[in-house]
Structure 1
Amino acid sequence: MNWDKIKIIGKFLIGYIVTGSALIFVIPQLGKPFPLSPDDIHLIESLSVIIWIVLLPSIVIYKYYETDEISLSSIPFFSKILISINVLFTCVFLGFYLSSNLNTGDKNMITIEDEFGKTSIVKIVNEQYIKNVLIFVFDNDSQDTTKNWLQKGFLEACDVDLMQDQYVNLISANDFVTNLGFQYDDVIPLSKKMKIAKEKSIPYFMSGSYSFNQDSILISWNLYDTQKGTVICNNTIKNHNFFNLIDHISLELKSCLALSEKYVNETIDLPVSSQLTESIIAFEYYIKALLAREDNNYQTALDLLNKAVQEDPYFTWAYFNSGPLYSYTNKMDSLHVSVKNTIDNIERLPPHKRYEIKYIYYTFNKEPNKVFTVLKNWVTQYPNTIDGHKKIARYYLDGENFDDAIDHHYKILEIDSLTYGSFYSISDLYKKNGDYNESIFYGKKYLDATEYSDVNGYIHLGNVFQSMGELDSAKVYYEQAEFMSPLNFRVQQSLVKLNSVFGVDIKSDYYNLLSFCKSNKDSIATFNLLIDYYRLKGQLNQAIVLKDSVVSCCVNHTYQKSKLDEIKHRWGMLLDLGEINTVFENISQFEIEFNFNIDSLFKPNYLGTDNFSAFSDNVKTHIGQIFLHESLDASYVKYIKSYINYIENYYKPNYTQYSLGELEPLLKARIAFFENNYEQAISILESNNNVERTVDYFITLARYCHFQENFVKSKDYLDYALQRTPHNPKAHYYMALLLHDWDKEEQAIYHLNYAANIWKFADKDYIYYNLLKSTASEWDVM
């Protein structure tokens, strides 16, 4: 054995390994002059490493037999065969790798069909190649506080400009900073910025400052490595044109992130002024409007946005952001105009933002098929965009498709494991789906993720246990929430609700709860708690007086839907008093207010051909609730059938993403019940059942089982209703009727007396109390 040769080869191998390792870092730099994407550079790196490793045996053999005069004749025949086999193997291996890689690349190019049936091929960027950068508000180093709006201006403009590039994801630190107690224009220490970026697992963060030099803006900014805290690059730029500054910042940032210069230069990158506005005055109005919105000054924000579009009628972003404000202030006609103007100028929005405005536009125009197509394409083309998954999860939730909604929240957690809100959403979805064990599991994961600091997590878990009928466990979580935040309205409200379930007289709790109200919405919720208390006791006249007060409070309420909800409940109380005619008179008043005709609704072939607003549709869906009331007899079946016809032929085709919940199966079951088809009525309700249905749903199901003389099943449903609401007088009354027919007299009388004790001060015309008195008289127990 030639030890000298072996020593030479050993030194050679050390140099070979060092040189090869350096190539991994050098190749990305060598690729900059060429139009290469990150995918291309990654492929070249992989091929280089494969060749470097797989050809090593041939190189070692060649080096071993190397002489001063390089000649293949000095290499033995057998070694030549080994080298040939090694080279052949390398070529075959590279072929397989390239084939596999290209096939994978083809999978990143997908065909999608838009809402008009037009197909196109789009590229999906691998998440590993996306550069995430956390950007902090730039500090105003000048003494001119009137220019503070530029702090948000730089952030918003950079964000819009970089939305054009799929490889750079700019993330605003504004929400993170606010959650830590910093004000918007506070100067944040560099160490704190680094800590925030680390906690959010964002590899880079960016910050800077600006000042003014005569008629020019001077801006200095740095890009930092989050883990090391070192400056990757720093830049100082001066320009009199704000939008040119933004274009320069975006270009330099891409260079700092090691994106290929040729790739950067050849990628579509329109000037930011073409994406936003060319008017700095319009942009100033726009930014000040966003700041006003953050302070909940909606009308001020709208006024500023209107000034922005007066300066630039094609300012798409101003139209886009005015939409929600019109909704908040209940200006629905203006909302329609705002959405239409955004659609008309949609080309000024980046591609993934176009999906969002299309989703809003088609929802507003009641085109559910296009809504779903847009949402599906959004999450297909941009699978790592959290907003798209949130929207489609909401779509599935509205349609009671809980499993698919859960899947998209799982995807959100895959994209960003720090999106703790998805744990909460998953827990709530499992609750709605009746899977309490999973709901509790993810509710606790949410508490753990938030370090047990979010009072809403405790309230949510309390709600889950209350729905299960485990009231003592619910109380533990509510009390823990109270310990953490004793002045929190939701906490106190939850405790009062729980007390009412336990049968506690909550009048004193109600007056105490008023002191915790911080808004008109809180006050309405508190009134409704007392209304529910009076309704439980059968004191409907007092409840209606309070409900009228609540309805009057809703005149200027943010959402008109609140008024509809309140009036729907008022109708139910009137029906409890036997005031059927009064309810239909109320509906006639709504015909005028919401521009629809009740007679048209009840026509057998009504298809909703007239131009109803979203609110009038909402009214008509609320009307369906009245047909569930027990005071309505079989003579109303024709109206229920007409209503079902309206739901099937108009509501569903226009609102397929929305579900009427338990209303539709209850109405269909009621038709079957009036036709004495109890088996069908039960089948309808059981096929649409889960444990999260309302207590009234289970009471109705129990009643139908009772009429069918299936006493065991009827009792099971009533037991479940009483487990969730042990002080429910209707459940006790119907349990008494069931047990009486089941020849269990002693138990029947107990439940009858229990209900009578709750209703002892009920109004004399309260129909359920009169039914109870009639029953007691018939049984000769009162």
Structure 2
Amino acid sequence: KEMGDGTFSKFKSAIDAVHCAVKIQEEAINNELPIRISVHLGDVMDDGVDVIGTGVNIASRINSLAKTGSIVISEDVWRQVRNQADLDATSMGQKEIKGFHQAVEVFELTFSPDGSVTKKVKVTETVTITDEDGKKVQAETAKKEFIKKVAVFPFDYDGDDNSLDYLKYGFPFGCCVSLLQDPLVELEFPNKMELQGESFINELRKAGYERGEGVPLPLKKKIAKELHCDFFIFGSIKLIDNDKQITSRVYSTKNGKLVNESIINGEDIFQLIDEFSIQIRKDLGIPHSHIDEIENLSFSEIITDSENAYKNFINGSLTMEYNNDYAKSFNFFQEAIQIDPTFSLGNFSLSWCCFLSNNEDYSKEGIKAMNGALNHIYKLPPRLSFLIKKYNYMWYRGEPDKAEKVIQMWIRQFPDSITPLRHLADIFQSQQKFIEAIKIYKDILEKNSEEFNFYLNLTDCYLILEDYDTAQKYAELYLDKCPTEGASYKVLGTIYSKKGDYEAAKDYYEQALILESGNSNYMVFIGKAELALGNFSEAKNQLEEALTFCKTNQDYATVYNAFYTFYNVRGEINQSIKFSDKSVHQEEKYMNPIDTVLSRIMGLMNYVLIGESDTALTKLKDEKLKLVHPWNLLAGFGEIVIGGIVGDKVILQSGIKSVEEFLKIKDFGWLRRLPKFGLGLYYFIEKKYDDAIYNFEEGMKDDAQGKDAGIPWLLKCYYHKKDFEGGIKIAHDYLKHTPMATRILLELVKFYIAINERDKAKEKLTKLLNIWENADEEYIYFQEAKKLWKELNTVKEPA
């Protein structure tokens, strides 16, 4: 029958109706008159003159949801046709229908532009992979063009029942874990450990919303864009009688438009997670046929069937991430796995908490927990199981080669996913394999040119390799893609500072600050540039201003550490010690207990610089006792530094032995330089300068921090070898990009005196003493400089 400018037709089967709709649309498109078509299955009354009824009304109502040239069908129709090999559709979500008592899920039929029916899209393919034990396993891998990347924010909850507070984080976290079963979904969630969301956390922290609560919609869109997500999701939780009402909203990152809003009520939180994980896939436009076919176990099967265990797990994660309380986190995680020993993810989180806790009793529990995680790892989605295996090999067992094999398996199963490639690059960088890491980052950009952040990773690698021109090339590519981000200008500032052009560096840092006013970290970079330019008052003022803009413990630690550097350069070592202590005090609030102790040990060198080596050794002994095995062996680094400065071979040998013993237990590539540095110091004391030079150079390879520590000792070797010209060249090359390197200036003065270039020696020493105008009298290198000044200005009587 005719209905205004349209028609209504009835059929004996839904399949016939859909095929007819496709043929009509095909003819309409071919005649350049595309139309809207809708199909519904329902009861109608036909009196021979007219056809009426609810079925007619719904078909008419959903027609308005169709775009010109498309066909929409109701859920009832989709159930009848979804098993047809030549029919497929994409969910448009639940839609309210005027005059109808409940929402109806509507689907858009998938067909080609010419109007022909598209056969069901195969969005995954089966691959065979070999696991770390050499066994062959079949798995499903996603095709790149169908992968959806989503940023999921914590939900809102402001109810009176505080026992449900954990759901703000726990509900979206659960949805993420459930969604990990689908290879078409890539996720970002602010969870550092289990979901690897450190970048997300940093973006929230930078914006002043550390816990991700109450983030304004425009900022959510901005963060999702910076994380290169196609969509972002957030929602709210309400308690209505005994039911939890969950509302979720899915937005497009590209235009910020609401894709769909869903509201589901229920008492069982796990069932709600299951329902939402299905609904979210539909909202993302994942083909319904794929959703029907892909494995999708219930949340209670893959995680835990105990809500109490899950609540303890979430509270443990939140306590460790935001309160840095490992003892309290341990209790939460342990309670979770006592309730459900098969809780694999809970066991893993407990093991990681124990690993970092610096507690002997917890260490034993951690090994049991890791075994528990591995014994029940079959429950987890593949991506989580790969992650746990990686951490087991990389950190617990200290076997990076096996960790690399696990990631290679991950890549074979998810060849178009960026995540495993990022993990592989991280392993390469930690093992000082920067060329291999560069290749991975380039592969990532080859796969997805929109992953702009990896330009920054490439920049970092080339900076470490001191290839500043290539580093600048990638930094400029990032700037071209992200001209409104402060990071684009900050990284270029860093490159220019490495080149020694601090005026240009300062200019870029200031541009970064213009884009992100109030960013204390950018103020610190400006302050460091002023320090390098010799503008000491401006540098100090800039750092003092940065302190007033600190938002987080991390911000305060960064600024205090910059003050530590400032006073160290100025020779005011007592002030430097004060700010080192302040920095560590802030680090204790967010850094794990092991790294906090090691950070304190690294600052002990300052006591030796003011002649208090006994104080340094006493404090080192105290700090070493705080560390459990094998981390206590890393106190050997402190022995290496202190022993080298005071010239004590016994202390040095003890430090070298300790670090070498640690490396036998855990092969952490970034620590391999320490024994080399120690041997360099040992051979220097032994006056075996060629051997010392070899070890210093080996220890400084691809390590900027290693060069800062090693170059002064290298120059001492050249001085004692009487290779003055060689030493002068090394010193000048270093001072080109680090003009305030006071130890290098001091050694350069000695070289000039040795070759009787007294005017040049006076020039450099004058510069040095100007830097040290307020230096502590007990500073050992200041005392040395004053002796040289006296020597240079003493007029010798003729014989």
User: What one-letter code is carried by the residue in structure 2 that aligns with 1:731?
Assistant: I
User: What one-letter code is carried by the residue in structure 2 that aligns with 1:568?
Assistant: M
Alpha-carbon distance change, 580 to 123 in structure 1, aligned in 2, over 3 angstroms: same
Please show how residues 722-741 of structure 1 align to structure 2 within 5 Å.
Answer: 722-741=735-754
Alpha-carbon distance change, 399 to 35 in structure 1, aligned in 2, over 3 angstroms: farther
Cα distance, 1:662 vs. partner? 5.0
Of residues 639, 656, 669, the one that matches 1:623 is 639
Deviation by residue 1:297-339 (Cα, 9 ceiling, x = unmatched): 8688777656655654433334445666677877685476355
User: What one-letter code is carried by the residue in structure 2 that aligns with 1:655?
Assistant: K
Alpha-carbon distance change, 722 to 37 in structure 1, aligned in 2, over 3 angstroms: farther
User: What one-letter code is carried by the residue in structure 2 that aligns with 1:659?
Assistant: W
Please show how residues 320-359 of structure 1 align to structure 2 within 5 Å.
Answer: 320-321=348-349, 334=362, 337=365, 339-340=369-370, 341-359=372-390
Of residues 536, 541, 566, the one that matches 2:600 is 566
Alpha-carbon distance change, 153 to 490 in structure 1, aligned in 2, over 3 angstroms: closer
Calculate the TM-score normalised by the size of structure 1: 0.69
Please show how residues 720-759 of structure 1 align to structure 2 within 5 Å.
Answer: 720-759=733-772
Q: Say which is worse superposed, 171-180 or 364-373, in terms of deviation.
A: 171-180
Cα distance, 1:434 vs. partner? 0.9
Deviation by residue 1:484-534 (Cα, 9 ceiling, x = unmatched): 445332223223323332334459536555434445555555455444444
Cα distance, 1:402 vs. partner? 1.6
Structure-2 separation of matches of 1:528 and 1:185: 29
Structure-2 separation of matches of 1:731 and 1:206: 54
* Matched residue, 1:658: 669
Cα distance, 1:440 vs. partner? 2.2
Alpha-carbon distance change, 117 to 148 in structure 1, aligned in 2, over 3 angstroms: same
* Matched residue, 1:441: 473
Q: Which has the higher helix share?
A: 1
Please show how residues 93-108 of structure 1 align to structure 2 within 5 Å.
Answer: none
* Matched residue, 1:279: 306
Deviation by residue 1:120-168 (Cα, 9 ceiling, x = unmatched): 4555444345466777888999999987866765544443333233345
Structure-1 separation of matches of 2:496 and 2:438: 20
* Matched residue, 1:716: 729
Is contact 1:396–1:402 with CA below 8 Å preserved after alignment? yes
Of residues 675, 691, 712, the one that matches 1:699 is 712
Is contact 1:163–1:169 with CA below 8 Å preserved after alignment? yes
**Is residue 411 of structure 2 the alignment partner of residue 400 of structure 1?**
no
Is contact 2:636–2:659 with CA below 8 Å preserved after alignment? no
Please show how residues 372-411 of structure 1 align to structure 2 within 5 Å.
Answer: 372-411=404-443
* Matched residue, 1:163: 180
Cα distance, 1:354 vs. partner? 1.1
Cα distance, 1:420 vs. partner? 3.7
Alpha-carbon distance change, 118 to 517 in structure 1, aligned in 2, over 3 angstroms: same
Is contact 1:330–1:558 with CA below 8 Å preserved after alignment? no
Alpha-carbon distance change, 545 to 111 in structure 1, aligned in 2, over 3 angstroms: closer
Structure-2 separation of matches of 1:423 and 1:678: 41
Of residues 537, 543, 548, the one that matches 1:515 is 548
Question: How many percent identity over aligned positions?
Answer: 23
- Cα RMSD over matched residues? 5.5
* Matched residue, 1:594: 627
Cα distance, 1:225 vs. partner? 9.7
Structure-2 separation of matches of 1:198 and 1:764: 54
Deviation by residue 1:260-298 (Cα, 9 ceiling, x = unmatched): 85x866754433211122234444555566677786686
Structure-2 separation of matches of 1:777 and 1:192: 61
Please show how residues 200-239 of structure 1 align to structure 2 within 5 Å.
Answer: none
Between Structure 1 and Structure 2, how many residues are aligned?
682
Structure-2 separation of matches of 1:587 and 1:293: 27
The higher radius of gyration belongs to 1
Structure-2 separation of matches of 1:716 and 1:461: 27
Q: Say which is worse superposed, 356-365 or 507-516, in terms of deviation.
A: 507-516
Is contact 2:175–2:277 with CA below 8 Å preserved after alignment? yes
Gaps of 5+ in 1: 1-13, 23-27, 39-47, 53-104, 596-611
Structure-2 separation of matches of 1:619 and 1:568: 9
Calculate the TM-score normalised by the size of structure 2: 0.68
Cα distance, 1:453 vs. partner? 2.8
* Matched residue, 1:608: none
User: What one-letter code is carried by the residue in structure 2 that aligns with 1:490?
Assistant: N
Alpha-carbon distance change, 321 to 749 in structure 1, aligned in 2, over 3 angstroms: same
Secondary structure of 1:109's aligned partner: strand
User: What one-letter code is carried by the residue in structure 1 that aligns with 2:365?
Assistant: V
Structure-2 separation of matches of 1:320 and 1:240: 28
User: What one-letter code is carried by the residue in structure 2 that aligns with 1:381?
Assistant: Q
User: What one-letter code is carried by the residue in structure 2 that aligns with 1:109?
Assistant: V
Alpha-carbon distance change, 725 to 445 in structure 1, aligned in 2, over 3 angstroms: same
Is contact 1:572–1:626 with CA below 8 Å preserved after alignment? no
Structure-1 separation of matches of 2:536 and 2:225: 51
Cα distance, 1:350 vs. partner? 1.4
Structure-2 separation of matches of 1:737 and 1:151: 64
Cα distance, 1:119 vs. partner? 5.2
* Matched residue, 2:647: 632
Is contact 2:601–2:623 with CA below 8 Å preserved after alignment? no
Alpha-carbon distance change, 377 to 766 in structure 1, aligned in 2, over 3 angstroms: same
User: What one-letter code is carried by the residue in structure 1 that aligns with 2:663?
Assistant: K
Structure-2 separation of matches of 1:231 and 1:539: 57
